[in-house]
Structure 1
Amino acid sequence: MKHKTLTAMLATCALYGMPVTAFADYPEQDIRVVVPWGAGGGTDAIVRKLTLLAEAEIGGTMYVENIDGGISATGVNQVMRAQPDGHTIVALTYDSIVTIPWQDMLPGYDMDNLKLIARVTSEPDSLVISSDAEYKTLDDVVAAAKAAPDTIRIAVQNIGGRVHLALLQLEQLTGAKFKTVSYPGGAGPQKEAILSGEAVGAVTSLGDFANLLEDNTVVGLAEFSSSPNPTYGDVPMAKDLGVDLQIGSFIVMAAPADTPDDVAARIEAAYKAAYDSAEFQEWVANVGVTPDWLGMGEVTAWSEQTQTELFGQMDALVEAGVLSK
């Protein structure tokens, strides 16, 4: 009966052009939080931590589901087509907002199909290298890649994705030529590539490789950031090494576009409380990621500006023959 009543109310709103508003008893069911990457990476860990804390604020059960594929397009597209009732949300990353729209990879994939709720982190990329490697500095590995092009195997996640773009820009700025090896599915497969010896290094965020940095399996040679990492201050910034490269990812929480504003506000408030909590701030300080909040009033404009700037950079790389579209 409740379902029939709800359906009738929604139909009436649609008929008379009335806005569909949230009900006081939201959430009415478990809230599914889609991470469009495989388990084990930095995005997965951060979203799980935040969601666990947000669950205590929102008054219902929240669970994370990993839906890997299409450099995040598979999972994000599911959320774009989900019921806009606040019970399905998604964690967007750089590739979700930049790479997929720029490459026009998936028909119907349009950022207008989402309501952005909040940006929660910024994550500069970096070059990490196996501790067993002979290269101890960025200059060392660049010199080796110049002397023997296409021999030093560096793991990226997806060809045409963010970390691939970072490696291409590093090559362009230094004259080095690495052997690029793609491991789709987030940072987990990159870690396995280094552990197995398939790759000597990787381009990724330091937070993604926190456990391997902590046990000294890898070392950070350079971070592509504008300010020192609060956790890994011993990793030099590329700009201080003569390479002016700044690029990285972020995490943005989003819901289907027609999610009622008051429901979106409830989700935003729950994640803001989780973000502000001492538990999250202390936890994130140890994983190499910068907490970086933008709420609903700012995050959409920031996303659009980011797209404009990065689309221009990638178009220039295409024109220069460095990147293909």
Structure 2
Amino acid sequence: MPERKTQYPRRAVLRAGGRLITAAAATALGPRFAHAAGYPERPIRIIVPFAPAGPTDIMGRILARHLGEALGGTAVVENRPGAGGNIGIGIAAHAEPDGYTLLVTSSAYVVNPSLYAKIPYDPTKDFAAIAELGTSPNVILVDPKLGVNTIAELIARAKANPDELNYASPGIGTTPHLSGELFKIICGINITHVPFSGAGPAIQAILTGTTQVAFAALPPAHPQIESGALKALAVTGEHRWFDLPEVPTMVELGYKDFVSDTFQGFLAPANTPAAVVALLASKSIEILKRTDIAEQLRNDGFEVIANGPDGMRKRIADEVAKWRDVIAKAGIKPV
């Protein structure tokens, strides 16, 4: 009898061929490809390069909790503070690029390349951008007992009494410090910078009269503004803060381009599988766009941005250049 030929439906043949191609691609690309398909298989570590309870830690913990749930796994924050954020950022930069060590960082990421003579990472080469999470405006504060109620009055006071005033910041190279230096340059005044070891000590300094002025990120200052213990003269964001409608922006007051906020970004070590980066970007943006999460972050002093990798890369490029210029003009020497 002649051999009988078996007929296979064309669709089944195509499906089988597709499976063979996928398997071949996985073999060619090695274990990372297969690993990404089942991601995550173990807890994800999110490094925050600052101490607990600061703005970046708050953002990191909110993201970690909800990201773990969204991925069907666990994400935990690991605080690795020191050297203005360089220690934690460096640890993340040199971690295995497998999607299990990630970084939530602040504007220190773009400031430090100009602030330090040597840093343990390259801001454009050592990380893959995942998402631009949010920003917090900085705020210019005075002790109410100073008798200064507007930015114009603060400038007039500083010009009439050179070297009388000093201002607190959370530390050298923070965006509040650089906002203070930019303020001095633009306004042609001299007020003495007094750096502290974080936002809490800087706020405490103006509350106790150690300084008369402070430049600070909004989240830690917000309760003191609401209580009347401190007076906010201006915010340095693009627009007024939603529950401080009486506090103007520096741009509104005539200081064009005086926008200085503290951003939080989400990054992975360079060469993390593209599929993992895309998944993390998608899930983190979904989380940030949830009404309950956006409201929680807003109440904590953050404006949600929720941009993907392209937005994060653009912010990095723009702000590395911006802060390099401010640091040079302020005469701040790399340490």
TM value normalised by structure 2: 0.82
Report the more deviating stretch, 87-96 or 294-303. Answer: 294-303
Is structure 2 residue 333 aligned with structure 1 residue 324?
yes
How far apart are the structure 2 equivalents of 1:323 and 1:104?
10
How far apart are the structure 2 equivalents of 1:198 and 1:292?
35
Secondary structure in 2 aligned to 1:43? helix
- Deviating above 6 A after TM superposition, structure 1's stretches of 4 or more consecutive aligned residues are none
How far apart are the structure 2 equivalents of 1:32 and 1:290?
25
1:117-132 pair list within 5 angstroms: 117-132=130-145
Measured on the aligned residues, the alpha-carbon RMSD in Å equals 2.5
User: Which residue of 2 is the match for residue 231 of structure 1?
Assistant: 243
User: Which residue of 2 is the match for residue 152 of structure 1?
Assistant: 165
Contact kept? 2:115, 2:332, Cα under 8 Å = no
Cα distance change of structure 1 residues 19 and 108 upon mapping to structure 2, 3 Å threshold:
farther
Is structure 2 residue 217 aligned with structure 1 residue 190?
no
Which residue, out of 234, 241, 256, partners 1:222? Answer: 234
The structure with more radius of gyration: 2
Stretches of structure 2 that go unaligned for 5 or more consecutive residues are: 1-24
User: Which residue of 1 is the match for residue 13 of structure 2?
Assistant: none
Is structure 2 residue 296 aligned with structure 1 residue 287?
no
Tell me how far 1:31 sits from its aligned partner: 1.6
Tell me how far 1:251 sits from its aligned partner: 0.8
Cα distance change of structure 1 residues 210 and 63 upon mapping to structure 2, 3 Å threshold:
farther
How far apart are the structure 1 equivalents of 2:223 and 2:43?
31
1:239-250 pair list within 5 angstroms: 239-244=251-256, 245-250=258-263
User: Which residue of 1 is the match for residue 180 of structure 2?
Assistant: 167
Is structure 2 residue 94 aligned with structure 1 residue 81?
yes
Report the more deviating stretch, 300-309 or 115-124. Answer: 300-309
Contact kept? 2:86, 2:119, Cα under 8 Å = no
Cα distance change of structure 1 residues 117 and 34 upon mapping to structure 2, 3 Å threshold:
same
Secondary structure in 2 aligned to 1:285? helix
Cα distance change of structure 1 residues 305 and 176 upon mapping to structure 2, 3 Å threshold:
closer
User: Which residue of 2 is the match for residue 3 of structure 1?
Assistant: none
User: Which residue of 2 is the match for residue 8 of structure 1?
Assistant: none
1:29-178 pair list within 5 angstroms: 29-97=42-110, 99-111=111-123, 112-178=125-191
Is structure 2 residue 283 aligned with structure 1 residue 270?
yes
Secondary structure in 1 aligned to 2:262? strand
Tell me how far 1:250 sits from its aligned partner: 0.8
Contact kept? 1:275, 1:281, Cα under 8 Å = yes
**What percent identity do the matched residue pairs reach?**
25
Contact kept? 1:71, 1:184, Cα under 8 Å = no
Cα distance change of structure 1 residues 296 and 120 upon mapping to structure 2, 3 Å threshold:
same
Contact kept? 1:55, 1:270, Cα under 8 Å = no
User: Which residue of 1 is the match for residue 211 of structure 2?
Assistant: 199
How far apart are the structure 1 equivalents of 2:144 and 2:69?
41
How far apart are the structure 1 equivalents of 2:232 and 2:289?
29
Secondary structure in 2 aligned to 1:203? strand
Aligned length: 306
Cα distance change of structure 1 residues 211 and 63 upon mapping to structure 2, 3 Å threshold:
farther
TM value normalised by structure 1: 0.85
Cα distance change of structure 1 residues 165 and 235 upon mapping to structure 2, 3 Å threshold:
same
Contact kept? 1:118, 1:299, Cα under 8 Å = yes
Tell me how far 1:132 sits from its aligned partner: 4.0
How far apart are the structure 2 equivalents of 1:59 and 1:130?
48
How far apart are the structure 2 equivalents of 1:115 and 1:212?
38
Stretches of structure 1 that go unaligned for 5 or more consecutive residues are: 1-12
